[in-house]
Copies of this chain bind each other. A is one copy, B any other.
Amino acid sequence: MPTREMFEQFKDHIGKFVKIDEQEFAQIITYFRIRFVDRKENLLEQGQVCNVNYFVLEGLLRKFFINEKGVQQTTEFALENWWMTENFSYLHRTPTEFYVQAVENTRVLSIDRTAYEELLLDHPCMERYFRCVYQKAYAAAQMRVKFIYGHSREELYHQFRQNYPAFIQRVPQFLLASFLGVTPEYLSEIRKKSVS
């Protein structure tokens, strides 16, 4: 049984966007389930329709697809307090091309489509909350496109290193390479250049 404390940080996150009282929050959490995901375990696999949205309480998720060369290509990480889902599959109810996998042992809140729709109807403040969350996520995705277009792969690495130094410690190098869109070999070369 999930305890109150487990949800405290979720309440804080909601609180960043909308005002919410103790009572209503107690109602809201009933729409969610808590789930533990082992390292390397998949929350979503290619071919499935994504019907669930995940909120990371602790740990780290990644989203990737298999490109035509058969190589995993990571497109996204989700740390604590980030939402992770495959929106395209979720919205269009089409089979996804993505996997969502735990990089570390991870604890998430999950909410499926049915519960999500009920939640939004029953609690208008959550409509506002998700509007804010998606607007912010959209802004972040747009800035990411700007970064990709505006910099060489080498610069991307240095930017990323500067912006998320702690994260680089946390994730193995070949996953970082995959996320940056370079081969592990080239990332290794970039790193060599910058230490010498």
**Chain A residues proximal to chain B, CB less than 8 Å:** 65, 67-68, 73, 75-76, 86-88, 90-91, 97-98, 120, 124, 127-128, 130-131, 134-146, 148-150, 181
Contact = CB atoms under 8 A, between A and B. Distances in A.
Contact of A146 (B75, B131, B139): B75
Nearest to A92: B139
Given A87-B138, A127-B128, 12 more contacts: A67-B149, A67-B150, A73-B146, A75-B149, A76-B145, A87-B139, A88-B139, A91-B139, A120-B131, A141-B142, A145-B145, A149-B181
A144 B145 contact: yes
How many copies of the chain does the oligomer comprise?
2
B75 A145 contact: yes
Contacts of A98: 146
A140 B88 CA distance: 7
A142 to B, nearest CB: 6
Given A91-B136, A137-B138, A65 B146 contact: yes
A14 B124 CA distance: 18
- For the complex of A and B, the 9 pairs showing the least CB-CB separation, nearest first, are A87-B139, A141-B141, A131-B131, A134-B134, A138-B138, A88-B139, A134-B135, A127-B127, A137-B138
Contacts of A134: 131, 134-135, 137-138
Main SS of chain A's interface residues? helix
A142 B88 contact: yes
Contacts of A141: 138, 141-142, 145
18 contacts: A65-B146, A67-B150, A75-B142, A76-B145, A87-B138, A88-B140, A88-B142, A91-B139, A97-B146, A120-B131, A124-B124, A130-B131, A131-B134, A134-B137, A134-B138, A145-B145, A145-B148, A148-B181
Nearest to A139: B87
